[in-house]
């Protein structure tokens, strides 16, 4: 699955430099109509808002391929990191050239300042965070504002739940407040750029409305989401067209003390990669009128986790009140 640029505030595309610097909200798929004046980088928002203040009532989902597939979302292209490295190299080269000219030229020679290169946000395509993506909240990346898990669960601040981070897995809370977990990594099929990394398995959660799910019951939401989950987790650009799918499960399940529903498919793709995708839906423990979607995406290979791990993660989902939203403390597993 292909990871997209996480949702968040980014420099206004096409800004000419006239007037105050502006930022626009990127929802993970496209630019939205929400804009704001860029905050002064003092370490805290100038207007006292939260880091993602000013966004819609439901934070649009960023990642993805946080999971490549959600779990199933998002293998995460490393385009941004590469762009930063290239920019630094260019700046270093310009500085070196200016110094050389200054040393070799006469003192009376006119000295010209080197231009400052600028970077624009890559227009990456793909669905929300794919479950199969590498953990978008890697603590080794200081530029990522996400909060990685520190031996504990990955907390979804939007829905008042947490996903368990199993041994050998990574997970955390993304910039917009959703949660993701993933394991394993390899070069994505059909990627000739070397800029995409896919994961063997993963899962991520977010409000159903962020995925444009209109259903108001858990069963209807899971059934409505499964096709979009498969398309996002195993998109045609990365894996080739889906050649077949088989429904393995469609049943009611209890999650975090809530009555939910899951739909699980087995799919095959033109690249030869097969996978299990599952859409799990249930009411938020903190907001009973809000449906939560947990997307799973697991490769079918000897190295990838099996369906039993999907069940294990499901059973480990708990209510979480870290956001102070009034959710029950402690929670109840499946």
Question: What's the pLDDT score for residue 41?
Answer: 63
Which of 25-34, 210-219, 241-250 has the least mean pLDDT?
Answer: 25-34
| 93, burial (CB in 10 Å: exposed 0-12, middle 13-18, buried 19+) | exposed
Residue 130's pLDDT band, with cuts at 50, 70 and 90, is low
Give the residue with greater pLDDT, 43 vs 15.
15
**What is the Cα–Cα distance from 304 to 200, expressed in whole angstroms?**
5
What is the average per-residue pLDDT within 55-64? 38
* pLDDT at residue 32 tops 70: yes
The residues with which 253 forms a beta bridge, in sequence order, are 260
313-327: per-residue pLDDT in tens? 999 999 998 765 444
269-279: per-residue pLDDT in tens? 999 999 999 99
Residue 24's pLDDT band, with cuts at 50, 70 and 90, is confident
CA atoms within 13 A on the CB side of 173: 18
Question: What's the pLDDT score for residue 201?
Answer: 96
What is the average per-residue pLDDT within 284-307? 94
Residue 38's pLDDT band, with cuts at 50, 70 and 90, is confident
Structure tokens, 155: 């907390």
35 within 8 A of 1, measured Cβ to Cβ:
no
Contacts of 113 (CB under 8 A, 6+ apart): 98
Contacts of 139 (CB under 8 A, 6+ apart): 148
What is the average per-residue pLDDT within 223-234? 94
**What is the Cα–Cα distance from 40 to 20, expressed in whole angstroms?**
11
Mean pLDDT for all residues in the chain: 72
**What is the Cα–Cα distance from 192 to 186, expressed in whole angstroms?**
13
Question: What's the pLDDT score for residue 324?
Answer: 57
> Distances in Å between the alpha carbon of 190 and those of 64, 194, 199, 281, 288?
18, 10, 15, 32, 42
101-121: per-residue pLDDT in tens? 444 444 443 433 333 232 222
| 159, burial (CB in 10 Å: exposed 0-12, middle 13-18, buried 19+) | buried
Length of the chain in terms of residues written: 334
Residue 151's pLDDT band, with cuts at 50, 70 and 90, is low
Residue 57's pLDDT band, with cuts at 50, 70 and 90, is very low
**What is the Cα–Cα distance from 185 to 179, expressed in whole angstroms?**
19
**What is the Cα–Cα distance from 106 to 132, expressed in whole angstroms?**
59
313 within 8 A of 250, measured Cβ to Cβ:
no
Question: What's the pLDDT score for residue 115?
Answer: 32
Q: Which DSSP helix (H) or strand (E) runs through 99?
A: helix 79-104
CA atoms within 13 A on the CB side of 62: 32
217-226: per-residue pLDDT in tens? 999 999 999 9
Question: What's the pLDDT score for residue 214?
Answer: 95
* pLDDT at residue 74 tops 60: no
Question: What's the pLDDT score for residue 92?
Answer: 53
Residue 134's pLDDT band, with cuts at 50, 70 and 90, is very low
The residues with which 124 forms a beta bridge, in sequence order, are none
Give the residue with greater pLDDT, 92 vs 279.
279
| 20, burial (CB in 10 Å: exposed 0-12, middle 13-18, buried 19+) | exposed
Question: What's the pLDDT score for residue 48?
Answer: 44
- Which range in 5-14, 50-59, 81-90, 311-320 is most confidently predicted, on average pLDDT? 311-320
Question: What's the pLDDT score for residue 2?
Answer: 54
Which of 3-7, 77-81, 228-232, 234-238 has the least mean pLDDT?
Answer: 77-81
Give the residue with greater pLDDT, 302 vs 62.
302
Instruction: Give the torsion sign (CA, 53, 54, 60, 65).
Output: negative
Helix (H, G, I), strand (E, B) or coil at 308: helix
């Amino acid at each position: 699955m292909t990871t997209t640029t996480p949702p968040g505030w980014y420099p206004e595309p096409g800004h000419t430099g006239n007037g105050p610097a502006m930022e626009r909200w990127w929802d993970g798929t496209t630019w939205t109509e929400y804009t704001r004046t860029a905050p002064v980088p003092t370490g805290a928002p100038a207007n006292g808002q939260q880091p993602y203040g000013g966004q819609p009532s439901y934070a649009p989902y960023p990642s993805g391929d946080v999971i490549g597939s959600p779990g199933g979302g998002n293998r995460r292209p490393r385009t941004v990191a590469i762009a930063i490295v290239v920019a630094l190299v260019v700046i270093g080269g310009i500085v070196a050239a200016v110094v050389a000219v200054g040393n070799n030229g006469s003192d009376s020679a006119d000295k010209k300042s080197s231009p400052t290169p600028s970077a624009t946000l890559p227009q990456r395509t793909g669905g929300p965070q794919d479950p199969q993506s590498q953990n978008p909240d890697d603590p080794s990346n200081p530029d990522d504002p996400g909060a990685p898990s520190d031996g504990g669960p990955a907390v979804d601040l939007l829905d008042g739940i947490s996903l368990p981070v199993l041994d050998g897995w990574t997970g955390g809370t993304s910039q917009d407040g959703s949660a993701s977990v993933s394991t394993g990594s390899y070069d994505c099929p059909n990627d000739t750029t070397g800029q995409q990394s896919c994961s063997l398995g993963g899962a991520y959660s977010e409000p159903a409305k962020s995925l444009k799910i209109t259903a108001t019951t858990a069963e209807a939401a899971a059934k409505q989401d499964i096709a979009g989950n498969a398309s996002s987790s195993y998109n045609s650009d990365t894996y080739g067209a889906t050649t077949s799918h088989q429904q393995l499960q469609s049943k009611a399940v209890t999650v975090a003390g809530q009555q939910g529903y899951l739909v699980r498919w087995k799919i095959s793709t033109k690249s030869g990669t097969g996978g299990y995708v599952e859409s799990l839906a249930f009411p938020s423990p903190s907001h009973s009128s809000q449906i939560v979607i947990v997307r799973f995406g697991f490769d079918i290979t000897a190295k990838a986790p099996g369906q039993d791990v999907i069940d294990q993660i499901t059973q480990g989902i708990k209510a979480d009140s870290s956001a102070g939203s009034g959710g029950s403390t402690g929670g109840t597993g499946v």
